[in-house]
Amino acid sequence: MNLDEAQRQQVAKWIEEGLKLSEIQSKLASEFGVRMTYMEVRFLIDDLKLKPKDKEPPPAPVLPKAAGAGAETAVTGKQPTPLPDDEADFADEPLPGSANVSVSVDQVTRPGALVSGKVSFSDGQSADWYLDQTGRLGVVAKQQGYKPSQADIMAFQTELQNQLARMGY
């Protein structure tokens, strides 16, 4: 389908406004009476040498500094950025509830899992954990009905991520 110059300029304006291709497809139909498939709209945008704008992703949250600052130097070759003086006092303090959470990885993986292991929470309770083929994390507590604290869950996830990174996962 051929568009006249005014219609092409309008399509370029829509791209500049950040509209998605499906929205442009709808506007072409409603404002110009031009019915196009999604693929035809993609070809049109390509023919006009336009690039759809990606929306700005939200800024990544700043996470507290993990234990083992030397790991950053070993992996990336970069020195860690020093903290401002007002934050330096808290850099070596563990997160609440994270001091006594320990994670181990099994030598022999649980059947049906990619990787498995054990976790001990700060209140002394323990559980088995596993990561299945679809990437789902499962935790099976030794004591039925046990629910760890939110701080323990966060510490467990962080420590599990660290352990798996060391193993190359």
* Every domain of the chain and the residues it spans: 5-47, 97-167
d(CA 165, CA 161): 6
Left if phi > 0, otherwise alpha if psi is -120 to 50, otherwise beta: which for 136? beta
- pLDDT of 76-127, one tens digit each? 445 555 545 544 444 444 444 445 888 998 889 888 888 999 999 888 889 9
pLDDT at 88: 43
